[in-house]
Amino acid sequence: MAESNKLHSINTSRILRAIWLNPGVSRIKVAEMLDLDRSTVTKIMQVIFDRGLAQTDGKNTSQSGVGRRQVNLKINEDIGIVLGLEIQNSRYRAVMTTISGQVLYSFDGLQETTGENLVSLIVSLVKKAKKFAKARGLDILGIGIGLPGILDPYSGIIIRSNPLKIAEPFDVLADLQRYIPEAIVMDNDANSCCWGELAFSPENRNRNFIAVLGEFRNLELADAGYHGLAIGLGLVIREKVLHGDHFTAGEFRAVTANRQTGQFTISWDELKRLPEDSAVLDRVYRELTANLGFLVNSVDFTKIVFAGDLTIHQGNLRSYMADAIEENWTYNLERSFIIEFSRYGENAVCMGAAGLFVEKLFSVPDIADRFQEVVGYDLFDRILTGRNC
């Protein structure tokens, strides 16, 4: 029975994902795409309809030949909304979105945050979001959180975070679950940018890409305060965000930098003039793109997305990035790259955190790796069952 239930969960999740990624697809097409019997798809679709997860969307008017018109399918947008949060050491941002990424409400504020008050801040932001949702008769499906530092997104443990002054592993998810009944997922802030691009911009699923998160921050290193540009990278390969064996994938430092100069070779005295000093900013951008050019060519990324404060202070980033890729390459081959600034601007992290939760809703349970993670139909089932309790 357990194996039968697991297979049902996997197939239901596969069908939900197929509809999500291919809005307007028919049951017959879903069966062909997933190599499932039509009868199996029909039975599972009845369960999906009964639980309100999907709905019909008219008949296929472009269908050729004779016979009954196939019925189009789509995910039910009214099933609920998602809260996405970004927490930094001196501020926070929040968005409430539909599962397709339409922003219904957003808010932000200034707050000095460390590991000591991180949980209380998040709880207060969730309460504010719930108040908005309740007033409009909306249900919150779950919460995504983007945080600075090194963290294990599967366990919800912050391993280290210099910005939040967390020097020892901190099981923040366990603490949050004492106060928040909704499902919570989280990831590093730069990785969160990737999830937003994947969940809400389907065209990005066809490319290996890199998200470059840049934020002008006040930092504390070796008991001294500094101001500069903090850079984090998110790496996407075949629709998966790369975390690395130690969850440190995407940590950036220019190859010629050292601990006295931070992430760049440019001195802290000069960096403290950012972003207003255009000459210093230009030098930082040249050094950043020179290092990124090597990475882009080595991994063969074909898209680079700049996010965060970089979308406001664009300077010559786009042209420098294109030049760095070309200068770092030796073969005479025609290649194409997309270099762009995130359409979410300063909200790239919180939108990405919401996108991470949406991705979990439409993932397929893994029977080999991370099998204990609740995703896909199992996650929907937990959410809907909790509503009825």
- Tell me the C-alpha distance between 217 and 228, whole Å: 6
Query: In terms of residue numbers, what domain contains 322?
Result: 205-346
Same domain, yes or no: 28 and 85: no
Q: Tell me the three state secondary structure of residue 142.
A: strand
This prediction's pTM: 0.93
Helix (H, G, I), strand (E, B) or coil at 102: coil
Domain with 21 in it: what CATH number? Answer: 1.10.10.10
Assign 150 a pLDDT band (cuts: 50, 70, 90): very high
Looking at the 3D structure of the chain, how many domains does it have? 3
Question: Are 279 and 213 within one domain?
Answer: yes
Q: What is the C-alpha to C-alpha distance for residues 315 and 319, in angstroms, rounded to an integer?
A: 9
The helices-and-strands tally (H runs, E runs) of the chain is: 11, 15
The contacts of residue 339 (CB under 8 Å, 6+ apart) are 303, 304, 306, 318, 321, 322
> How far is 4 from 292, CA to CA, in rounded Å?
48
For residues 318 and 361, membership in a common domain is answered with no
Percent with pLDDT over 70 in the chain: 92
- C-alpha to C-alpha distance for 389 and 10, rounded to whole angstroms: 25
User: Residue with structure tokens 């994902």?
Assistant: 17
Residue 200 covered by a domain: no
User: What tokens does 284 get?
Assistant: 């930082």
What's the CA gap between 83 and 338, in Å, rounded? 29
DSSP state for residue 252 in the 8-state scheme = -
Q: Is residue 282 part of a domain?
A: yes
- Within this chain, do residues 368 and 336 fall inside the same structural domain, yes or no? no
CB 26 within 8 A of CB 72: yes
Buried b (16+ CB within 10 A) or exposed e, 301-337: bebbbbbbbbbebeeebbebbeebbeebeeeeeeeeb
> How many other C-beta atoms are found inside a 10 Å radius of the C-beta of residue 95?
28
Residue 64 domain flag:
no
336 and 308 in one domain?
A: yes
Of 204, 184, 183, residue with least CA distance to 194: 204
The CA–CA distances, whole Å, from 234 to 17, 131, 161, 354 equal 23, 33, 17, 16
**C-alpha–C-alpha distance, residues 329 and 333, integer Å:** 9
User: Which of 331, 346, 361 is at the close of a domain?
Assistant: 346
Residues contacting 127, CB < 8 A, separation 6+: none
pLDDT of residue 1: 46
Average pLDDT of the chain to the nearest whole number: 92
Is residue 270 located within the same domain as residue 305?
yes
- The pLDDT of residue 66: 45
Q: Among 30-39, 94-103, 129-138, 225-234, which is the least confidently predicted range? A: 225-234
Here the CATH number for the domain that contains residue 320 is 3.30.420.40
Confidence of residue 340 (pLDDT cuts 50, 70, 90): very high
DSSP state of 208: -
Percent of the chain residues topping a pLDDT of 90: 84
- Other CB atoms within a 10 A radius of the CB of residue 223 amount to 5
280 located within any domain:
yes
User: 317 and 332 share a domain?
Assistant: yes
pLDDT of amino acid 3: 61
363-366 long-range contacts, CB within 8 A, separation 24+: 363/13, 363/17, 364/10, 364/13, 364/14, 364/17, 365/6, 365/9, 365/10, 365/13
Residue 301 lies in a domain: yes
Count CB atoms within 10 A of the CB of residue 246.
10
Is 140 in the same domain as 165?
yes
* 254 plus 322 within the same structural domain: yes
Same domain, 369 and 243: no
pLDDT digits (tens, 9 = 90+) for 55-80: 998 665 555 544 455 789 999 999 99
Q: Is residue 198 part of a domain?
A: no
pLDDT reported for residue 227? 80
Q: How many CB atoms lie within 10 A of CB 47?
A: 13
Q: How far is Cα 389 from Cα 181, in angstroms, rounded to an integer?
A: 12
For residue 202, the model assigns a pLDDT of: 86
Predicted local distance difference test score (pLDDT) of residue 62? 56
Domain membership of residue 365 (yes or no) is yes
3-state secondary structure of 348: helix
Is pLDDT above 90 for 219? no
What are φ and ψ of residue 330, in 5° steps?
Answer: -110, -25
Radius of gyration of the chain (CA): 22
Does residue 296 register a pLDDT over 60?
yes
Residue from 182, 180, 174, 135 nearest 156 by CA: 174
* Same-domain pairing of 97 and 48: no
The type of residue at 302 is T
145 and 184 both lie in a single domain: yes
3-state secondary structure of 255: coil
pLDDT tops 60 at residue 133: yes
The three-class DSSP label of residue 2 is helix
Structure tokens at 348: 């790239």
Could you tell me if residue 230 is inside a domain? yes
